[in-house]
């Protein structure tokens, strides 16, 4: 069985951008429930179908398969729940680990999250200076949750200064 072990953090500042390289992602969900999610993702010119099981802390089962690009686009447009998740995903290396930094667009604009996949649950990792509060156990930050309750709909009391990257928003306006 394929197991994903992942930690997720809010991002502060712009320090991560210096060495980042990224690509545009669009993804949608065919099904979302507490026991499983089925996702369609287009990353650059590649497309994937991903099935994920229920989260148990920072781990869950995950199965991912390449699918034809045109079929993925059709599924995103006609079968997936709206809104779709749109983001730029950046790869950033820090102290021997590859981090993925997601800068969300659309209904989730202003949210920037960093993820790191680990080989073991007890694997030690040094956090980069731009990694802020850990949100691994907060389901609001799961992409599937953001597709149902986008960041733009969050009440102000739910949004902390570390959550909303206001400096980045100011530059985009």
Residue 141 has pLDDT above 80, yes or no: yes
Kindly state the average pLDDT of the residues 149-159. Answer: 78
Q: How far is CA 2 from CA 36, 37, 39, 61, in A?
A: 14, 15, 16, 6
C-beta separation of 34 from 144 below 8 A: no
Active site residue 141: no
In the set 25, 29, 90, 94, the catalytic residue is 29
Which residues make Cβ contacts (< 8 Å) with residue 101, sequence separation at least 6? 11, 16, 20, 22, 89, 90, 92, 112, 113, 114, 115
Q: Which residue's entry shows tokens 């980042």? A: 20
Distance CA 135, CA 7 (A): 8
Which residues make Cβ contacts (< 8 Å) with residue 72, sequence separation at least 6? 40, 41, 42, 47, 48, 49
Kindly state the average pLDDT of the residues 135-159. Answer: 87
pTM for the predicted model, two decimal places: 0.87
Which residues make Cβ contacts (< 8 Å) with residue 71, sequence separation at least 6? 47
According to DSSP, residue 128 is labeled P
Assign residue 172 a region: left if phi > 0, alpha if psi is -120 to 50, beta otherwise? alpha
Residue 155's pLDDT band (cuts 50, 70, 90): confident
Report residue 40 as tokens: 């369609």
Residue 162 has pLDDT above 60, yes or no: no
What's the CATH superfamily of 3-172?
Hypothetical Protein Pfu-838710-001 (2.40.320.10)
Distance CA 11, CA 98 (A): 15
pLDDT in tens, 29-55: 999 988 999 999 999 999 999 999 998
């Amino acid at each position: 069985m394929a197991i994903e072990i992942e930690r997720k953090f809010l991002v502060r500042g712009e320090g991560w951008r210096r060495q980042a390289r990224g690509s545009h992602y669009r993804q949608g969900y065919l099904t979302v429930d507490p026991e499983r999610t089925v996702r369609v993702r287009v990353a650059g010119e590649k497309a994937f179908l991903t099935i994920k099981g229920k989260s148990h802390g920072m781990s869950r089962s995950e199965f991912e398969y390449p699918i034809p690009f045109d079929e993925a686009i059709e599924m995103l447009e006609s079968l997936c729940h709206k809104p779709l998740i749109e983001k730029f995903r950046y790869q950033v290396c820090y102290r021997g680990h590859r981090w993925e930094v997601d800068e969300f667009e659309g209904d989730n604009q202003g949210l920037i999250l960093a993820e790191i996949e680990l080989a073991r649950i007890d694997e030690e990792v040094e956090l980069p200076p731009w990694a802020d509060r850990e949100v691994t156990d907060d389901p609001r930050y799961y992409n599937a949750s953001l597709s149902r309750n986008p960041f733009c709909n969050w009440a102000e009391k739910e949004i902390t200064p570390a959550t909303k990257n206001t400096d980045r928003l100011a530059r985009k306006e």
